[in-house]
């Protein structure tokens, strides 16, 4: 069992592009430490899903989608071995992973009002500490005071391969070239949008995961957190 400074419940922010492995890594690290895991992308996906259910158009109905995001309640619950997102008490975990919702969630996440509502909900989830939150703007916008900020990356080809394999495992057959094109498109939009674009926080520690196993990435992050909390503990004593 890892020895952390007593009474410190850390806050970890993990950002990075789609397919860099951050969800798996964040989930494993949270389990190891007994922390809460928050998948912020799932919340944007849930808004996209509900918007499509309500037949709202992502280009035209931005105000309605913004209002919808403020009315939805979000809760992560353990279902068997997995963590599922419940939006308005409905388990949306499967619905939000479809290719259609994936593509729709990117323009939905660029609507400023949606971001405002979801950032507020995410900050509330992290208020008690003992949290690992992953997304695109966690270190830069949502939790700028996190004890540890990590920016995970992998090359575009490697990320598309991972995504393609994941879809196959779910029985969704997609052309690899199409997966790569969708991924590059989403990357471009997520990094170039006006509000909260994907970028590392100035004080984030960066890790390229191409050549590393998930276990190795989790080990590195755990040791970084240990360092960060030990440093934080020293600072607090010095103050
Ligand atoms: O991580 P993901 O693929 O499940 O995220 C879905 C979409 O939401 C993706 O287009 C990026 C966006 N997103 C965001 O803008 N900010 C976050 N904190 C998390 C995800």
End-to-end CA distance of the chain: give it in Å, rounded.
Answer: 29
CA of 106 to the centre of ligand 1 (A): 7
CA of 126 to the centre of ligand 1 (A): 18
Domain ranges of the chain: 11-208
Atom 9 of ligand 1, nearest CA residue = 106
Closest to 43 measured CA to CA, from 89, 95, 85, 100: 85
What confidence score (pLDDT) does residue 236 get? 47
Give the distance, in angstroms, between the CA of residue 145 and the centroid of all CA atoms in the same chain. Answer: 17
Residue to probe by mutation, ligand 1, list 46, 51, 136, most atoms within 8 Å of CB:
136
Instruction: Please give the order of strands across the beta sheet that includes 74-79.
Output: 74-79, 82-87, 90-91
What confidence score (pLDDT) does residue 234 get? 57
Provide CB contacts within 8 A for 86, sequence distance 6+.
74, 75, 76, 77, 92
CA of 43 to the centre of ligand 1 (A): 8
Q: What is the Cα–Cα distance from 13 to 97, expressed in whole angstroms?
A: 22
* Entry pTM: 0.88
CA of 4 to the centre of ligand 1 (A): 31
Ligand 1 pocket member 190 (CB < 6 A): yes
What confidence score (pLDDT) does residue 66 get? 98
Q: How far is CA 96 from CA 43, 161, 163, in A?
A: 9, 20, 15
CATH code for the part of the protein at 11-208: 3.40.50.300
> Quick one: what percent of the chain has pLDDT higher than 70?
94
Condensed to tens digits (0 to 9), the pLDDT of residues 25-83 reads 999 999 999 999 999 999 999 999 999 999 999 999 999 999 999 999 999 999 998 89
Q: What is the Cα–Cα distance from 152 to 28, expressed in whole angstroms?
A: 15
Low-confidence ranges of the chain (pLDDT < 50): 236-239
Atom 18 of ligand 1, nearest CA residue = 135
What confidence score (pLDDT) does residue 237 get? 44
Give me 13's structure tokens: 């922010």
Provide CB contacts within 8 A for 216, sequence distance 6+.
none
Atom 6 of ligand 1, nearest CA residue = 41
Q: What is the Cα–Cα distance from 177 to 69, expressed in whole angstroms?
A: 33
Closest to 59 measured CA to CA, from 120, 101, 106: 106
CA of 18 to the centre of ligand 1 (A): 8
């Amino acid at each position: 069992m890892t020895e952390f400074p007593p009474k410190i419940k850390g806050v970890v922010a993990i950002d990075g592009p789609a397919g860099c492995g951050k969800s798996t890594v964040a989930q494993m690290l949270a389990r190891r430490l007994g922390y809460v895991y928050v998948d912020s992308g799932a919340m944007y996906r849930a808004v996209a899903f509900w918007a499509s259910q309500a037949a709202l158009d992502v280009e035209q109905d931005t105000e309605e989608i913004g209002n919808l995001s403020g009315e939805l309640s979000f809760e992560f619950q353990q279902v068997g071995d997995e963590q599922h997102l419940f939006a308005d008490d409905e388990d949306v975990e499967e619905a939000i992973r479809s290719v259609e919702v994936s593509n729709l969630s990117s323009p939905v996440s660029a609507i400023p009002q949606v971001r405002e509502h979801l950032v507020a909900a995410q900050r509330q989830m992290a208020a008690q500490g003992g949290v690992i939150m992953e997304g695109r703007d966690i270190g830069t916008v949502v939790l700028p005071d996190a004890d540890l900020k990590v920016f995970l990356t992998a090359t575009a080809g490697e990320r598309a391969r991972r995504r393609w394999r994941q879809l196959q495992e779910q029985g969704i057959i997609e052309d690899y070239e199409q997966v790569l094109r969708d991924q590059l498109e989403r990357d471009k939009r997520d990094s170039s949008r006006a509000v909260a674009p994907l970028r590392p926080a100035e004080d984030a520690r960066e890790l390229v995961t191409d050549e590393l196993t998930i276990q190795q990435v989790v080990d590195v992050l755990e040791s970084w957190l240990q360092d960060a909390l030990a440093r934080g503990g020293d600072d607090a004593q010095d103050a």
